[in-house]
């Protein structure tokens, strides 16, 4: 079976572009979710690049399951935990005590999500080079 790592990474880059476009359009909940998706797909690309499968949606766990020789920086692992908080509540109204998701996310969150997702994509890009 062919290695699909580059397909996953290219989609991660496209998801990051969508996150940026969503932030610019003031759709901050979608920017946060798309940033999470970009990071998740990038780390899954790295797993595939290493010849292993990865399952699940928690970016922090996906990073922790990488081979030890890849040395994930502790700060990157912490940033992944922040992104993981954007996986469900950015999309579902019952994730918050009241209000729709778009009422709970603004430019501060979307810029943070974009910054952290970019850092993860940069890490993956370097590791796959």
What is the CATH code of the structural domain delimited by 5-128? 1.20.120.330
Buried b (16+ CB within 10 A) or exposed e, 17-49: ebbbebbeeebbbbbbbbbbbbbbbbbbbbbbb
Give the three-class secondary structure for 27.
coil
- 8 A C-beta contact, residue 112 and residue 85: no
Mark the ranges of the chain whose per-residue pLDDT is less than 50. none
Question: How far apart (Å, rounded) are the C-alpha atoms in residues 107 and 26?
Answer: 7
Sequence-distant (≥ 6) Cβ neighbours of residue 40 within 8 angstroms: 12, 57, 59, 62
Q: What is the pTM of this model?
A: 0.96
Question: Domain spans of the chain?
Answer: 5-128
């Amino acid at each position: 079976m062919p290695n699909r790592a580059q397909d996953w990474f290219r989609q991660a880059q496209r998801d990051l572009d969508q996150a940026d476009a969503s932030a610019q359009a003031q759709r901050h909940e979608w920017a946060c979710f798309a940033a999470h998706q970009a990071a998740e797909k990038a780390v899954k690309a790295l797993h595939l690049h290493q010849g292993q499968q990865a399952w699940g949606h928690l970016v922090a766990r996906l990073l922790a399951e990488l081979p030890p020789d890849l040395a994930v920086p502790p700060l990157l692992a912490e940033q992944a935990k922040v992104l993981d908080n954007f996986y469900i509540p950015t999309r579902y109204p019952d994730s918050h005590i009241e209000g729709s998701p778009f009422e709970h996310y603004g430019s501060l969150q979307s810029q943070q999500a974009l910054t952290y997702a970019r850092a993860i994509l940069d890490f993956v890009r370097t590791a796959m080079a």
